[in-house]
Amino acid sequence: MALLMPFVSVAVSILYTPFLLLILCIIFLASIGKSLGVRRLYVNILLKLFEYGRQHIEVAKKLQRHDSSDEEDPPIPDDKPPSAIIKENGLNGTKMTVIERQEILGPSPELNYRKDQNGHRTEQGIGETNLEFHFYHCMDLVKAGMESIIEDQVTSVFEAEELRSWNLLTRTNRQYEFLTWRLTIIWMMGFVVRYFFLLPLRLLIFVIGVWWLIVSTACVGTLPDGPFKQRVNYATSILSFNFLSRCISMVITYHDGDVNKPKNGICVANHTSPIDVLVLMCDNCYSLIGQRHDGFLGLLQRALARASPHIWFERSEVKDRHAVARRLKEHISVPDNPPILIFPEGTCINNTSVMQFKKGSFEVGGTIYPVAIKYDPRFGDAFWNSSRYGMLHYLLNMMSSWAIVCDVWYLPPMHRDPNETAVDFANRVKAVVARRGGLVDLMWDGQLKRMKAKKEWRELQQEEFSKRLKRE
């Protein structure tokens, strides 16, 4: 051990100055909202590296199939099962399903619908005038039930999104690190870069960023309320969150922000991860709403509340919808308050789909600003599976990934029509978000992640099945 100390001290003395200059450069660029383009260059290099790896994987697969047997085996598809249907999501992602459904079942029979050969939605019962019973009349529901047993629409959205090709990470569904010696060398070099260079640097940036956020919000909190405090809070918030975004090498592309970026009211977005807040706060200042926490999250909540009007609820108040609606109305009634950021799904989805938007935030009135967020899973999976990983494990995965790359679309503001219910308005906003982000629009409640389907839903479908048997 004594022999290693001189080498360690020499290495520290050599690397200390450039490392300190790098941190200062990151702070300065974050403070003025600029970038040297290093992260985008880094992402482009990774894309070329992934393409190189994909070509070697295809060559190795062909050689293995050629040498495995003299018998002629059926061709093996590259990245999907023979019956798979690829659903394009936005620019980069894929949603792979084994079954092509024609009969789509919803929580209640009136939400059931069929798809024609072109994939268009058609209403049931159109053109049926014959009341005579035939056994095949009920087979559509039986077929839909069997399809749900094999692969339902809900379970798959709480698993990590599958990749078309390997991204040199062993935590994904593709693992080819020992397929060829070239891939092994590339994977080992990537492991060293991620864990022995990027991870320590990102941890240091994270610690400095959290410290800066706490200190800056404490200083802003001492200022008297007014326009000056709001301008200072906006500047410090953008600086702090842009600096924190460096700890996961985040590359964000914002679309239509000059036209549709919210200034007040309610901003709603699809929810994939806790870093959704970081993604949006890098470009605008928002007020947040949520349950009051202890520990590290509680520390951040108290820091943010010093500088800006956020809404934090005690555990006993979370289920009180009237209290939530009252505080939301109070917030949006003040024109100078920042827009309040809400994730109506209420849970994290794997960024292939959008699930049911809760109606609470659409009942209070005011202007709704929809935002669609789409992550590129090739560089790192941003989805947080809270039932499998804790927050610390999730943060470690984020910091040891290649990068977090995403697109954000600011959509035109929307208002509730006079005769429109809050549920219909929520579904209309959800459809706009899903269409812009290239996501699958699902009608199911995201809380099915933690609870079983309601008994009433089963009874309604059973009643619908009996009506088909009786030809009512």
> Taking residues 426-440, what's their average pLDDT?
92
Higher-pLDDT residue of 35 and 42 is 42
pLDDT at residue 466 is higher than 90: no
pLDDT at residue 232 is higher than 70: yes
pLDDT digits (tens, 9 = 90+) for 318-349: 566 677 778 888 888 888 888 999 999 888 88
Per-residue pLDDT at 311: 83
- Take residue 353 and report the two structure tokens written for it: 């789909």
Give the C-alpha distances (Å, rounded to integers) separating 197 from 7, 19, 145, 263, 276.
18, 11, 51, 39, 25
Per-residue pLDDT at 306: 84
> Taking residues 400-417, what's their average pLDDT?
92
pLDDT at residue 257 is higher than 90: no
pLDDT at residue 28 is higher than 90: no
Rounded to two decimals, the pTM is 0.79
pLDDT at residue 143 is higher than 80: no
**Among 265, 280, 274, 308, residue whose Cα is nearest residue 293:** 274
- Averaged pLDDT score across all residues of the chain: 77
Confidence of residue 34 (pLDDT cuts 50, 70, 90): low
pLDDT at residue 87 is higher than 50: no
Give the single-character DSSP code of 197.
I
Confidence of residue 278 (pLDDT cuts 50, 70, 90): very high
Q: Are 251 and 403 in contact (CB under 8 A)?
A: yes
pLDDT digits (tens, 9 = 90+) for 155-176: 777 777 777 777 777 766 566 7
**Among 411, 401, 417, residue whose Cα is nearest residue 42:** 401
